Chain A
Amino acid sequence: MDNDATAETVRNLESMVASLTELLDVQEKVVGEQSERLKENEARFREIYDGSNDAIMLLTENGFFDCNLMTLKIFGFKTKEELVKLRPDEISPPTQPDGQPSLKSASEHIQTAFRTGIDRFEWIHRRSKGEDFPAEVLLSAFDWGGKRVLQATVRDISLRKQSEKALIESNDRFLVFIKEAAMRLKNPLEVVEENLAIVVNDIEPGESEPNNVSLQLRIQIKNLEQIRKNIIELNIAIVDRSGEMSEASKQFLTG
C-alpha cells in the first residue's frame, strides 16, 4: 500500500469515527431526553398517585406491595410497611353487611377482577384504630413488570352515606307528617260532616232545642277553625320542603 492510500484510509477512518461520535452524541442526547421524560412521567405519575383523594393500593394474589399516601391517611397507618404486611380482609371488619365473612368476600372480588379485568363494589373497611367506614372500591387488573397486578382504588363514602341516610330519614319523617296531616284532615272533616247531619236530623222533626242547636253549631265552627289551622301547619311544612316557591304562593299557602 502506498502512502497516499494509507493516508486516505486514515482519513476515512477518522471521518467514520467522527460520524460515530456524532451519532453517539445524538443517541446519548436522545437517551438523556427520553430518560428525562421518563423521570418527568414517573414524577407526574407519583404526583397523581400520591396526590389522589382516594386510597390507591397495588396488590398481587399474594397481597399488597405498594400504596399511595392517601391510603396511609385514610386507614391511619404511619408507613407503607404497616399496610403491605396485611391482607385486604385484615383492613376490614370480620363480616360485611350482607353477613359474608370479609376474607371470603374479598377473595371472590379479587378473583373476579383478575378474571374480568375490573370489579366495582361497596365495602366496609376498618381503620387501624378499629373504626369502620363505608367505601366504594374499584379493582382494575393490568400487567406490570411481567406480572398481573391489581390497582385497588378505595373511596371513603362516609359523608355520602350520611347524606343518603339523612335524606331517607327526612323523607320518612315527611311521609309520617303527611300521613298524620291527612288523617287529621280527613277524619275530623268526617266528624264535622256527621255532626252537622245530626243537627239537621234533629232540626227537621222539630225535636231540637235552640240552645243545643246553637251549641252544636258553635262546636262545629271551632272544629273547622282548628282544622283550618291544621291545614296551615301542613302548608308550612310543604313550603319548607318544596324549596323554590314564589313569595305570593308561600303567603297564599301559609297565611
Chain B
Amino acid sequence: MAFPITDIKDEEIYLIMASASDIRNKNIELIKMLLAKDYYVLVITTNQPYDVLKKNYEKQGVAMEKILIVDTITKYALGHDHEPVKNCRFVNNPADMTSIGIAVTESLGELKGKKVSMLFDSVNSMLIYISSQNITKFVHFITNRLRLLNFSGMFLAVEKGLDPDVLTQLTTFVDEVIDVDKIPQKT
C-alpha cells in the first residue's frame, strides 16, 4: 500500500514502519492525510511532550482542533502537573499502562460517533519504560477494544530495528503493514 495511504479502509488497523530518523515526519504526513479525510486523530505519545508536539504540528500547518493527545511523558519529566489543556490528557508515568488505557478509553468516549483514528508514537520510546512483552499485551488490548467499538483505524508507528519476534507479534494484531521506506518517493 502506498504512503500516504490513499484508501484507508474503515475499521482496519495499520502498522507503519519507518526508520527512526524519519518517523516524526511520517507521523505528521499521516496526521495531515487523516485530517484531510475528516478523521479525528487520537495521538498516544510516549516520546514528544504535548507542548512540543503542538508546536511542531502548528509549524507544519496541522490544525489542533481535531487532534486529541494522551501525553504520558510531560508530567513524568516535570515532576508536577501540566496546566490543564482541553485536548490533552496527561498520564503520570509512561510505564503506567492502566492509566494510559483509562485515558485512551475516556478520549474515545469523547469522540463517540465521529470518524476517529489512533496514532501510537512510538514503540521504541515505550521500550524505555515497558518490556516488549507488556507492550504487545497493551497493543493487543487496545486493538481489541478498537475492533469492538467498530473503530475507524489505528496506526501504530514503529521504528525499524525491533526484535523480529516482537515485530511478528505486533503484525498479528494489525490488518496491514506499511513499510514507508519501500515506497518509491514522488519526484
Contact = CB atoms under 8 A, between A and B. Distances in A.
Interface string B146-187: 000000000000010111011000000000000000000000
A247 B132 CA distance: 32
Contacts, number: 75
Nearest to B55: A212
Interface of A is mostly: helix
A190 B127 CA distance: 11
A209 B133 CA distance: 37
Nearest to B46: A191
Interface of B: 20-21, 24, 47-49, 51-52, 55, 73-74, 76-78, 122, 124-125, 127-129, 131-133, 159, 161-163, 165-166
A180 B163 CA distance: 8
A216 interface: yes
B128 A209 contact: no
A62 to B, nearest CB: 55
Contacts of B77: 215, 218-219, 221-222
Contacts of A221: 77
26 contacts: A179-B163, A179-B165, A183-B127, A183-B132, A183-B166, A184-B127, A186-B161, A187-B20, A187-B159, A187-B162, A188-B127, A191-B125, A194-B21, A195-B48, A198-B24, A215-B49, A215-B52, A215-B77, A215-B78, A216-B52, A219-B73, A219-B77, A221-B77, A222-B73, A222-B76, A226-B128
Nearest to A211: B51
A223 interface: yes
B51 A215 contact: yes
A184 B133 CA distance: 12
Contact of A223 (B52, B128, B163, B166): B128
B96 to A, nearest CB: 13
A138 interface: no
A226 B48 CA distance: 16
A190 B78 CA distance: 22
A184 B166 contact: no
A184 B52 contact: no
A246 B97 CA distance: 39
B162 A219 contact: no
Contact of A219 (B49, B133, B163, B166): B49
B89 to A, nearest CB: 17
Contacts of A230: 128
Select the residue from A183, A188, A209 with max chain B CB neighbours within 10 A: A183
A184 B131 contact: yes
Nearest to B129: A226
Given A215-B52, A215-B78, A219-B77, A190 B128 contact: no
Contacts of A212: 49, 51-52, 55
A227 interface: yes
Given A188-B125, A198-B24, A221-B77, 6 more contacts: A179-B163, A188-B127, A194-B20, A216-B48, A218-B77, A230-B128
A230 B133 CA distance: 15
A184 B162 CA distance: 9
B19 to A, nearest CB: 10
A222 B125 CA distance: 12
Nearest to B79: A218
A218 B48 CA distance: 12
Contact of A180 (B55, B124, B132): B132
Nearest to B24: A198
A198 B55 CA distance: 13
Given A215-B78, A218-B77, A219-B77, A191 B55 contact: no
Nearest to A179: B163
A219 B48 CA distance: 9
A121 B145 CA distance: 54
A215 B124 CA distance: 20
B76 A215 contact: no
Contacts of A198: 24
Contacts of B47: 191, 195
Contacts of B127: 183-184, 187-188
